[in-house]
Amino acid sequence: MLSSKKALVETLAKIAQVNILVVGDLILDRYVWGGVDRISPEAPVPVVEVRRTEDRLGGAANTARNLRRIGAQVNLCGFIGDDDEGSAILGLLDRDGIIHEGVIADRTRPTTLKTRIIAQSQQIVRIDRESRVVQAVAMREGFAAVVESQIESVQGIILSDYGKGTISEPLIRILDSATTNGKIGLRARPLIVDPHPANYGIYRTMSVVKPNRKEAEQATGIKIHNRDSAVEAARALLKKWSASLALITMGEDGLMLLAATDPDPIFLDTMAQEVFDVSGAGDTVTAVFAAALATGADKVVAGDLANLAAGIVVSEVGTVAVDPVRLRHEIDRLAK
């Protein structure tokens, strides 16, 4: 049963009053759109005739964009390279009104770039350019200090981890200290972590752990093949990282919520009608859930709102942010 229309609409409206800090790996998603009508004579591969190229915010920057689209104020912290792609990210952040004083240019590494070649609305190939070399200690500690300086000015914090090096031990120590001192908690500046296997060994206390099915399996060693195994994995996650709440995204099976203090889980069926592309859907869930939780909304209301938002973005091709007009339309159409 979906939450009431009143609760969903009120929560969506309150999101404009919150400021969320997003910390994580910044990615430039580049889309090369074209058509295919022949096979190359050089090799058995399609020839794509390019019609347009488009840059979009990816990774943690896509999480930030989703937040901004639904009205939240956003402070973004992460790394770019000293290159054209880094400049492109800054330009897109300016366009969307995302505060990026915490975005630092690292001259030793390129901006992470994912180029997708798309023809007839189908992805032909993806080309990645990135560096995962560990940054200097001074760079990591300096970045952690930048994040620390912003904690008290926000109502919620998201760690969007894509395993590119932004999330580090010094950063986790800062957040753990803030949690211990009462600055971070489920009701006071909730910390939502979208985890990556590269850093499973360094995470500590968090308010919400939000993996997808595969990530939850990797973190716990529990194969999720039905609801019972999903609950078993969620309980293991709560214990592993001293989390207050687990939110597991399970694709066509929807979302599962389990609080450390509740005996029973909550399953939310998927709201997707048509699925064209799941790229970035996890970012949308993270953003909307975190923003709703930061307003003081109940976890089920936050989960329903995030689930509705994810159902919208998977109906489009490529990494997109949820359209608030469509989100409100879905609330009017489905909620009572």
The neighbour count for residue 31, using CB atoms within 10 Å, is 18
- pLDDT beneath 70: ranges in the chain: 272-279
pLDDT of residue 273: 61
pLDDT of residue 14: 96
pLDDT of residue 321: 86
Find the DSSP H helices in the chain: 5-14, 60-69, 84-96, 137-148, 169-180, 213-220, 227-240, 281-294, 299-313, 324-334
pLDDT of residue 1: 78
Report which DSSP code applies to 276. S
Find the DSSP H helices in 51-168: 60-69, 84-96, 137-148
Give catalytic residue positions: 283
Distance of CA 157 to the CA centre of its chain: 12
The neighbour count for residue 41, using CB atoms within 10 Å, is 7
pLDDT of residue 274: 62
pTM exceeds 0.85, yes or no:
yes
pLDDT in tens, 258-276: 999 988 999 998 876 665 5
pLDDT of residue 271: 76
Domains of the chain: 5-27+58-111+131-334 (3.40.1190.20)
β-partners of residue 127 are 115
Structure tokens at 33: 């759109």
